[in-house]
Each structure stands twice: as C-alpha cells, then as structure tokens.
Amino acid sequence: MTSADVIVVGSGLAGLVAASELAAAGRSVIVVDQEPEQSLGGQAFWSFGGLFLVDSPEQRRMGIRDSRELAWQDWLGSAGFDRAEDEWPRRWAEAYVDFAAGEKRAWLRQLGIKLFPIVGWAERGGYDATGHGNSVPRFHITWGTGPALVETFANRARAGEVEFRFRHRVDEITTSGGAVSGVRGKVLEPSSVPRGRPSSRTETADFTLTAPIVVVTSGGIGGNHDLVRRNWPERLGTPPAQMISGVPAHVDGRMIGITEAAGGAVINPDRMWHYVEGVQNWDPVWERHGIRILPGPSSIWLDALGRRLPVPLYPGFDTLGTLAHLRSTGFDHSWFVLTQKIIEKEFALSGSEQNPDLTGRDIRKVLGRIRGGAPAPVEAFKRNGADFVVASTLDELVAGMNSLTESPLLSLKEVRRVLEARDRELNNAFTKDMQIASIRNFRTYRGDRLMRTAAPHRILDPAMGPLIAVRLHVLTRKTLGGLHTDLDGRVLDAAGHPVPGLYAAGEVSGFGGGGMHGYRALEGTFLGGCLFSGRQAARSIASS
C-alpha cells in the first residue's frame, strides 16, 4: 500500500510500540526505516534491557522501600528543570514517574515480558536527599534483555495491520494546506550487512507515501560526533577530541532537521547523556564501537595524571558530574585501578551481546555470577581489550598504563601514594574515606552483596589477584533534548502550537516533551521512555 492511517518513521523500540498500539486500535500503519530488516529494533536490541520501576514486587522482595514520592524527588533532583521551555518536559516526567509507579509493570507482564528478580543500582548519584541519582535500586533488567523487548513489540506489530518498508530513507515530511500529508524520499539498494554495520546509501528509486499522521521515532544523534560537538554545552567543558560510539553511525539525527523543516521545534539541544566509563570494543560491530562498563563502586578512579577523583565522583555515582570534572583536566581519558576480586564481582558490560546469560535466559549461567569468577565477556575484554592492563606488581601496572598513552603521564610514586593512602583507611571499621563508607553502606543491600559490590579490601593486597587498570573514554550515547511535544506526543511549532498531523516519540523527542530527563537521567529510563512515549502518542492518535 502507498497510503495508510499513520506512517511511523523509524523501526526502533518507540516506533514498534507506537505501531503495535495503533494496529491494536484498528489503524493501518506503514513503518519506514532506511536500515535493512535485520536492524529492526534499533538501539533497543543492543541494550541491557534496564527498566525504571517504582515500588515493584521485585524491589519489595529485595527489602527495598520505594515510593512514587521518593522517585519524583529523585527525578527532580536529577533533572534540575530551570527553563521556561521545561513546562512540557516536566509534565512528561511526572506522567512517566506515575506510569513507572503504576501500570507499567502490569502492562509489560500482560505482554509476556518478565524481569530478572535482582534489582540493580546502576546510577547511585550524589550524597544528599535532594541531589541527583536514584536513592534506591530501581534498575529492573528485562529477562532476555533488549532483544526480548524488541521481539515482543515486533511480533505484536506484525500481528496487526502494519507494513514495514525497510531501506526507505525519508528525506521530507510532506504537507498540504498546513497539515502533514505523508513522507517522500529514496529507496536504497538491498543490504545484507549484519545488524549495526554500515549499510549502502546507493539510491534505486523515489518513493512517496501518504497519511494524515506521521510519527517520527528516528532516535538521537550519538553516532554523529560532529553534531554532538556542535551541541556540546559549555557547562561540560570542551568536547573531547576523541570519543567512542555507543551507537552505530546511522544514529545521526538527520530526521530532527527534516522534522524542523516541516514546522516542528527543537528544544534543549544542549542536553545530552554520555558515559565516561567507555572502553573500545575488541570485537567491534560499527566504527569506533565502544562498550560501557557498568561498574560497581569499588574501583579507584584516577584522572589521566593519576589524581584520585574528588567526592562523590566514584564509579557508578554521577555520570555527568564526572564528565564535567574530567573535561577540566585537559585529557580525554581517565583510569580505573582495581583487583581481580573487584572485576569478578563488580564489572558488567552494557549491551545484550555482552550478557549472553541474561539475553539467552539461561538460569544456570546467571547463577555463575553469584558463585564467583568474572563473566566470560568481561574476561574476554580483560584479555583482548586495548584499554586493559593486567600486572602482578604496581610498577608493572603503571608502566603498562603509560605505554597506552602518547607520552608517559603517570608517576609511579604518585599512584602508589594514592593507593596506599586509600588502603590505610581499611584498618578500622569506621573511616573518613567516603568511597569506602559508601561501599560498606551498599553491601547492606542484598542485591549488591550478592552480585555487585565486592567486600572492601586493600587494592595492593597480592592475595586479591593481579592488579588491573582500565583506560576509560567518553562514550556517546543519548540525546536528552529534542522535538518539542505535548503530552499527546504532538510536535509543537516555534510558537508552541501543534503541527497538524505531526507526532514524535522516543529519543528524537527527548523521550517526551523535548527533554523529560532535564539535565540528567535516572538509569533505566531510556527504554522506558521509548515505551511510554510510543504508547502515549499511539493512544492519543487512536482516540482522536
């Protein structure tokens, strides 16, 4: 068909949710995507599957006392809404917290999506009640990780009246009489490249599709480093000269400009979320492919000159605060220093492909995380990763670290001083070292004690295994600003009025409103933002 009730641009998670909801409501839908069918699901396929839920049965079983009020307090402390244009983002944020504390889990379970029973604490944030970060663990891992979410909504869409048009690159959202009338663009030649790898841009034909409603769900800008640098905020310092990519190159933001040309407004383009614990993938899928370490709290974090990062910039605490601090050092990299005991207990790698036990829903392999030893993908990075140094002595470790930089930046004497000073703080059950105090606090949570936080020990204790250093890079990831939308997902123009027939969902809309996360995101809210905004737009369209 060349016309439908709705055209959805983008076959990532937000697009699949929107299409499946619309089909369930009896609407005909065409989904167009420039990538081949094997890339169905977009970035959600590569994800760890973490979902933000509030006061869930999984939390209660782990002894976590959560509430909608506490979650909203954490969200506001992280978001820091302070702009006039934050009205819709704030309303989206509150609606999302209500969703996460309300029907989200039941809706997912009704669709057959299950959760891993141990709730994670991926981003712990600051150190006061109203600061940023999650006060309690809320990171619920999808059983089957990202691919399970993609499979659920892709199957649901295919069961309805949804037609997929892959290799269809949209170049224009067409309008007639001031309202959306469809899309036009180019058909690209077929491509059999594996998921995530660059596909051909050779054009074979023109296409035009018509519909009174177009929903843009095309994702963010993380694969376009030039655009990331162009929007980089001064508050985070200067953009890095060298970055690695957490997303493929086709996540380039081009549909943002195309939607602007159709009348849509973009707000908060300077709000973005990049990780500082990125390592180069030793087995890359796309260019500059990086993987994020999801660290426990015990590694010692040093800047490029070997200085320990200040309170509370510890692993897994404050992503953007750490990024801003590291940008002030004049270097694009930093270091974790740790032991074999820490890497075994605390290192997880973000991504479905880096967690085959959870992705494959293999209970026996998952139990291996509790029994001891590092997961196989972590050990593979330790053996093969260009950013990993393993040594039996500190002298050898620092020499190996210096060999990874253009010139030797680290002083053995200074690194030894930092580590010995930290180790002395373990001689008593009490301490002034806030990282050690935090580790002891986190281990009172059963989930951390079981799987995520090593017992405090001296880094320089030979009995704890070899010493390990990991060179860390800035890893591009998420766009927190985007197309300005109201709570129905309608794209607004520069005057704040809906553009007739134009909707947006997912990362391209800052996951709702043009930036529902504000300046900082709580972990587990990206996939959830795609779920909620895709559903919200579809249900609004279906009810109109």
Query: pLDDT for 159-172, tens place per residue?
Result: 988 999 999 999 99
Instruction: Categorize the per-residue pLDDT at 125 as very low, low, confident or very high, splitting at 50, 70 and 90.
Output: confident
Query: CA end-to-end span of the chain, whole Å?
Result: 23
Q: What is the mean pLDDT of residues 443-458?
A: 93
DSSP line for 288-329: TBEEEEE--S-SEEEETTSPBPPTT--TTT-HHHHHHHHHTT
pLDDT at 365: 86
Looking at the predicted structure, is the pLDDT value of residue 369 above 80? no
pLDDT at 339: 98
Q: Residue-wise over 197-234: b if at least 16 C-beta within 10 A, else e? A: bebeeeeeeebebbbbbbbbbbbbbbbbbebbeebbee
* Owner of token pair 């909504």: 153
Torsion region of 360: left, alpha or beta (phi above 0 gives left; psi -120 to 50 gives alpha): alpha
pLDDT at 480: 96
pLDDT at 364: 85
Return d(Cα 495, Cα 264) in angstroms, integer: 10
Q: Is 478 helix (H, G, I), strand (E, B) or coil?
A: strand
For 215-256, what is each residue's pLDDT tens digit?
999 999 999 999 999 999 999 999 999 999 999 999 999 999
CA nearest 459: which of 311, 363, 335? 335
Backbone angles phi, psi at 277, to 5 degrees: -115, 40
Q: Could you give the C-alpha distances from 205 to 96, 168, 169, 185, 202, in angstroms and in order?
A: 41, 10, 11, 9, 10
Q: Could you give the C-alpha distances from 395 to 278, 421, 424, in angstroms and in order?
A: 25, 17, 19
pLDDT at 129: 55
For residue 6, what are the β-bridge partners? 29, 213
For 5-57, what is each residue's pLDDT tens digit?
999 999 999 999 999 999 999 999 999 999 999 999 999 999 999 999 999 99
Over 119-188, what HEC string results?
A: CECCCCCCCCCCCCCCCCCCEEEECCHHHHHHHHHHHHHHCCCEEEEECEEEEEEEEECCEEEEEEEEEE
For 272-288, what is each residue's pLDDT tens digit?
999 999 999 999 999 99
Backbone angles phi, psi at 394, to 5 degrees: -65, -35
For 296-349, what is each residue's pLDDT tens digit?
999 999 999 999 999 999 999 999 999 999 999 999 999 999 999 999 999 999
Looking at the predicted structure, is the pLDDT value of residue 123 above 90? no
Instruction: Categorize the per-residue pLDDT at 374 as very low, low, confident or very high, splitting at 50, 70 and 90.
Output: confident
Percent of the chain at pLDDT > 70 equals 99
Question: Helices (H) and strands (E) in the chain — how many of each?
Answer: 18, 21
Question: What does DSSP assign to residue 426?
Answer: G
CB neighbourhood size of 501 (10 A): 24
For 524-544, what is each residue's pLDDT tens digit?
899 999 999 999 999 999 998
pLDDT at 367: 80
Looking at the predicted structure, is the pLDDT value of residue 368 above 80? no
CA nearest 247: which of 479, 89, 68? 479
> Pairing mode, if any, of strands 168-176 and 179-188?
antiparallel
Percent of the chain at pLDDT > 90 equals 92
Q: Is 458 helix (H, G, I), strand (E, B) or coil?
A: coil
Q: What is the mean pLDDT of residues 357-363?
A: 92
Looking at the predicted structure, is the pLDDT value of residue 459 above 70? yes
Q: What is the mean pLDDT of residues 494-507?
A: 98
Looking at the predicted structure, is the pLDDT value of residue 422 above 80? yes
pLDDT at 131: 66
Task: Record the tokens describing residue 373, joined without a space.
Answer: 């030893």
Least confident of 90-94, 289-293, 362-366, 511-515: 362-366
Looking at the predicted structure, is the pLDDT value of residue 128 above 80? no
Looking at the predicted structure, is the pLDDT value of residue 130 above 70? no
For residue 9, what are the β-bridge partners? 32, 216
Q: Could you give the C-alpha distances from 114 to 51, 99, 144, 306, 394, in angstroms and in order?
A: 11, 17, 8, 43, 45
Looking at the predicted structure, is the pLDDT value of residue 212 above 90? yes
275 Cβ contact list (under 8 Å, min separation 6)? 246, 292, 319, 474, 475, 477
Question: What does DSSP assign to residue 450?
Answer: I
Return d(Cα 45, Cα 352) in angstroms, integer: 7
pTM over 0.85: yes
Mean pLDDT for all residues in the chain = 95
Distance of alpha carbon 543 from the chain centroid:
31
pLDDT at 392: 97
